[in-house]
Structure 1
Amino acid sequence: MIALMRIDNRLIHGQVALVWTKYLGVNRIIVANDDIVKNEVQKATLKMACPSSAKCSILTVEDAIGVLNDPRAEGLKIFIVVNNPRDARRIAEAVKAVPAVNISNYGHLGNDLHSRTRITDTVYIADEDFEEFARIQKTGKPCHYQVVPDNPPLDLYELIEKVKK
């Protein structure tokens, strides 16, 4: 069973490893990213950041889709973590069991902040991201901005519409 999918630049870090994993009660974290799967240092770092209560799998997006659509995944409680809207959209379109998308800590790192649109204090999106979120919305899956479970979830689609006006 898939508990949640999260878009977060940092992938596995304190909020994901400690707060969200415990809150969701998951026993598996799947990091889906086509580049990180090729980087042994990043993979090792992510696995070290994973809490002992969950197993960490680092997969390409296509491999993650295959695992998530496998009937055996129903016996697990899975938290999917991606670091960009494109990967989230690919999974949301291909995996019916994704219940919702959560986002925080996206797009605010790097030197191109001036070229991104501020959605919240921790979410800045590039022009191409608007289309990705529109495509995620077409899947019917809700997308919430929520840093930690104690924060109230805010509808990201509504936040984007407010910024566009």
Structure 2
Amino acid sequence: MTMDIRLARIDSRLLHGQVATVWTKSVTPNRILVVSDTVAKDNLRKTLITQAAPPGVKANVITLDKMIQINKDPRFDVFKAIILTETPADMLKLAEGGVDFSQVGIDVGSIAFSDGMTMLNDSIAVDNDMAAQLRKLHDDFNLDVYAQKVPADKKQDMMELLSKKGF
């Protein structure tokens, strides 16, 4: 057995209202794992994230290497987890490290816009590197990579969104 991953989501906001309320009701996790080397070093952000967890669900902030380690450890098979990363690069590193997302695919919730990026829809912006990383998750790992803000929304195929914008 391995950890039961209920949702794998790329979201530059990490753990926020939509995830803490709507997604946890939908996928019923007992653990939210925020996987980020950057956040793991930032005590303030770590504290805020762990406090944002909804009742009955524990949140942890861990590094990418730690996630790859615990994914292979049978002691963590009891986790029914939501996995959150800030970037496509981090999610790709997890897949390359052997974390199996084949049952759930990769949900791209929100990626904040900054200079040099292209908006794919109203909440997701990417640059060339991010587009390539999302394609790699789809092509090399045969994953369903989709955009879905909340469970009630229809899934949008990320490959179609990327193609429409010339990526």
| TM-score normalised according to structure 1 size | 0.92
Does residue 162 (structure 1) correspond to residue 167 (structure 2)? The answer is: no
Q: Is the CA contact 1:31–1:57 (under 8 Å) kept in the aligned structure 2? A: yes
Q: Is the 8 A contact 2:68 2:99 kept in 1?
A: no
Q: How big is the shift at 1:96? A: 4.4
Unpaired runs of at least 5, structure 1: none
Normalising by structure 2, what TM-score?
Answer: 0.91
Q: Is residue 93–residue 136 contact of structure 1 (8 Å, CA) maintained in 2?
A: no
The whole-number CA distance in structure 1 between the counterparts of 2:73 and 2:64 is: 14
Q: Which moved more, 1:71-80 or 1:121-130?
A: 71-80
**Residue 34, structure 1, aligned to residue 37, structure 2:** yes
1:128 aligns with 2:129: yes
One-letter amino acid of the counterpart of residue 78, structure 2: G
What residue number does 1:44 align with? 47
Kindly report which structure 2 residues correspond to 1:44-83, keeping only aligned pairs within 5 A, or say none: 44-83=47-86
What is the CA–CA distance in structure 2 between the aligned matches of 1:18 and 1:31, rounded to whole Å? 16
Q: Deviations along 1:111-143, whole A, 9 cap, x unmatched? A: x2xx11111110010121122112211111111
Q: CA deviation at 1:158?
A: 1.6
1:4-153 correspondence runs (5 A): 4-98=7-101, 99=103, 100-108=105-113, 110=114, 112=115, 115-137=116-138, 138-153=140-155
Shift of 1:72: 2.9
How far the C-alpha of 1:10 sits from its partner, in A, is 0.7
Equivalent residue for 1:3, pick from 3, 6, 17: 6
The percentage of aligned residue pairs carrying the same residue is 29
- How many residue pairs end up in the alignment? 161
Output one character per residue of 1:79-121: Cα deviation in whole Å (capped at 9) or x when no partner. Answer: 000010000111122234323110122133x5x2xx1111111
SS in 1 for 2:77: helix
Inter-partner Cα distance in structure 2 for 1:70 and 1:158 = 36
Whether the 8 Å CA contact 2:148–2:156 is kept in 1: the answer is: yes
Pairwise CA RMSD: 1.4
